[in-house]
Amino acid sequence: MQDLNQLSKQQLVELLEKQSLATNREIAQRDDVIRQLEGKLQQLERDYIKLWQERFAAKSERYIENPDQLRIDFGDTDEAADAAEGLAEAVEEVEIPGHTRGKCRKKRVESLPAHLPRKEILVDVPNSLNCCECHGERVLLPDSMWDVVERLGMKPAEYYVERLVYRKYGCKSHAECGIVSAERPTGIVEGDKYDASIAAEIITNKYAFHLPVYRQQDLFAGSGWTPSRSTLLNILTRCHFILSPLLDHFRRTLQADSHVACDDTSTTLLYSRESMKFDLDDPRQKRIAEVIEEAVAAGRSSINAKMWAYRGVNVRLNVFDFTVSRHRDGPEQFFRGYRGTILD
């Protein structure tokens, strides 16, 4: 009886081992099939991206490190259905070489701006074409049958020199009355040699079109005026007193808002080694003088400055303020007398 029990246990163990081996083989086979399917799926994904790029991507975007950035996976949503429908319409509208089905791409027509002035130029035929081969005389057809072709043209900026002639008047009766003349306007630079339109062009080129002054030299030279770099910089820096009232207006307008958002970023300022004059009665200039004196005494060639950005919650206006200090005295001076909430 004991031998029978032992034999049964041994057979049971062998059966369990066989079942375990069979299960392990099935798991291994299943894992191998899964790996093969995953490999095929990845290959299909790569083939799809490659075909998509070759068909729809721009030439400059067909070879990129991450091809998935060219598509957005919306999942099983309404957006996915709309995207699929739009892609199908795009395929139909694109003209495929060698295929005649589907719609052809519509020819793009760019009309010239209607607000530009028109200058009409009458183009007549040469004298050699005024006579026919039959030696008959040609007659002018009605203008309704003429061809009209518009093309865009331009000419470089025109610079001119204004000669301001100031008349003078004296008294006939008494010479001691003196001589009177029209008041001279305040010049941007000493000598008043440059009109405000020149300063506006320099400012627009630098801050709107991001052209440094050395590139503006070539731009101006192409129209007949070749200024030095120091001249352009002098005009640019001297415009501060002209723009100060506008900046003050922006500041007052922004402070009319009850809530103003504030942000800042650090920047490096390379200051001039030459002696600079400051108005010590102005708190801002006094602070600048102190910071520069500290930097000179410490032998530093630069200053850690701040650029502050302010924007109203209700007043949609961005105002930037530059300070040479990393401390928060910038907002304190900017919002002096302000009654409201500053969001930092």
Buried b (16+ CB within 10 A) or exposed e, 107-145: eeeeeeeeeeeeeeeeeeeeeeeeeeeeeeeeeeeeeee
**Residue 236 phi, psi (nearest 5):** -65, -45
Contact 253, 315 (CB under 8 A): yes
User: 306: closest CA among 287, 320, 325, 290?
Assistant: 325
Coil/strand/helix, residue 1: coil
What is the predicted pLDDT for the residue at 100?
Answer: 52
Token digits for 255? 């402070």
Coil/strand/helix, residue 260: strand
Contact 303, 271 (CB under 8 A): yes
Report which residue type is found at 192.
Answer: D
Residue 75's Cβ-count burial label (10 Å; 0-12, 13-18, 19+) is exposed
Contact 251, 315 (CB under 8 A): no
Q: What is the DSSP letter of 61?
A: G
Report which residue type is found at 199.
Answer: A
The beta strand positions in 223-258, using DSSP E, are: none
Q: What predicted TM-score, i.e. pTM, was given to this entire model?
A: 0.54
What is the predicted pLDDT for the residue at 310?
Answer: 93
Q: Are strands 168-170 and 302-312 parallel, antiparallel or unpaired?
A: unpaired
Token digits for 62? 């067909």
The beta strand positions in 284-336, using DSSP E, are: 302-312, 318-323
Helix (H) or strand (E) holding 38: helix 2-56
What is the predicted pLDDT for the residue at 90?
Answer: 60
Dist. CA 202–CA 20, nearest whole Å: 85
What is the predicted pLDDT for the residue at 303?
Answer: 85
User: 315: closest CA among 219, 249, 236?
Assistant: 249
What is the predicted pLDDT for the residue at 77?
Answer: 60
Q: Which residues contact 56 (CB under 8 A, 6 or more apart)?
A: 90
**Residue 321 phi, psi (nearest 5):** -135, 135
What is the predicted pLDDT for the residue at 199?
Answer: 92
pLDDT (tens, 9 = 90+) of the chain, 344 residues, equals: 556 667 667 777 777 777 777 777 888 888 888 888 888 888 888 888 888 777 776 655 555 555 555 555 555 666 566 666 666 666 555 554 555 555 555 566 678 888 999 999 998 888 776 666 666 677 788 888 889 889 888 888 888 999 999 999 888 888 788 888 998 888 888 888 899 899 999 999 998 999 999 999 999 998 889 999 999 999 998 888 888 898 899 999 999 999 999 998 888 888 777 777 777 777 777 778 888 888 888 888 888 888 899 999 999 889 998 888 766 677 888 888 888 998 88
Token digits for 337? 């007398």
Dist. CA 153–CA 116, nearest whole Å: 10
What is the predicted pLDDT for the residue at 71?
Answer: 55
